[in-house]
């Protein structure tokens, strides 16, 4: 009889899936809060200072041409964008305050999700709070940037629009980034 050939069985691979995956917290940390606070404070101060200069320099409805279509035109707006809800100042105040609280809550839970969140939400919160302060204090908002083809607005409105734009770009960019591959542990049994 001949020698029998014994084949060694191929090694079996054992796939072990993780029972739990440790993820980093998305909650805002001290640096994110500092960034949000600095941007929000700068936006609030810049808007309040420019409104103060306009109200002290120009009478209501006065205008000064700057360049091209840009003028500084002192107007008051008791509503929101484009004068909508002008007779509902109390409702606009409550909705704005609720939006600011929601943004702060969202930031507390997700502030480290993307590096631009402190800047984007800082602009949104700073602009919203600045206009909210005016609504509570004077029952209207001072608008002064007039482009002739667009209703007059102020720096707070600009900060809000820029903050929303940054937020949307960041969210779209994050959605397009493929998620990291899940790792599994390959163990060769002998």
Number of domains in the chain: 1
Q: Long-range contacts for 91-97 (Cβ within 8 Å, ≥24 apart)? A: 92/135, 93/132, 93/135, 93/136, 96/128, 96/131, 96/132, 96/135, 97/132
Does residue 175 surpass a pLDDT of 90? no
Say if 6 falls within a structural domain: no
| pLDDT class of 26 with cuts at 50, 70, 90 | confident
pLDDT of res. 20: 56
Say if 81 falls within a structural domain: yes
| Domain of residue 129, residue span | 27-176
Say if 121 falls within a structural domain: yes
pLDDT of res. 56: 96
Say if 79 falls within a structural domain: yes
Does residue 14 surpass a pLDDT of 90? no
Say if 181 falls within a structural domain: no
Does residue 84 surpass a pLDDT of 70? no
Q: Six-digit token pair at 81?
A: 């964008």
Percentage of the chain modeled with pLDDT above 90: 49
Cα separations in angstroms, 65 against 53, 117, 170? 16, 36, 36
- 7: helix, strand or coil: coil
Say if 186 falls within a structural domain: no
Does residue 119 surpass a pLDDT of 70? yes
Distance CA 168, CA 149 (A): 25
Say if 17 falls within a structural domain: no
Say if 10 falls within a structural domain: no
Does residue 133 surpass a pLDDT of 80? yes
pLDDT of res. 18: 60
pTM above threshold 0.85: no
Mean pLDDT of 118-127: 95
Q: Catalytic residue positions?
A: 143, 157
Contacts of 65 (CB under 8 A, 6+ apart): 71
- H or E element in which residue 74 lies: strand 70-77
């Amino acid at each position: 009889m001949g020698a029998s050939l014994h084949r060694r069985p191929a090694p079996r691979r054992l796939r072990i899936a993780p029972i739990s995956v440790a993820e980093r917290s998305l909650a805002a940390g001290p640096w994110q809060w500092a960034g949000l606070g600095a941007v929000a404070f700068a936006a609030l101060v810049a808007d309040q200072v420019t409104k103060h200069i306009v109200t002290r320099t120009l009478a209501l409805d006065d205008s000064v041409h700057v360049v091209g279509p840009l003028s500084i035109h002192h107007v008051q707006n008791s509503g929101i964008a484009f004068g909508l809800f002008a007779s509902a100042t109390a409702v606009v105040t409550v909705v704005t305050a609720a939006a600011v609280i929601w943004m702060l809550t969202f930031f507390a839970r997700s502030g480290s999700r993307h590096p631009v969140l402190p800047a984007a939400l800082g602009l949104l919160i700073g602009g919203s709070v600045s206009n909210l302060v005016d609504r509570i204090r004077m029952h209207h908002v001072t608008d002064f940037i007039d482009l002739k083809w667009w209703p007059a607005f102020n720096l707070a409105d600009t900060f809000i629009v820029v903050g929303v734009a940054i937020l949307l770009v960041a969210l779209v960019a994050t959605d397009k980034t493929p998620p990291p591959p899940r790792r599994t542990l390959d163990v060769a049994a002998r």
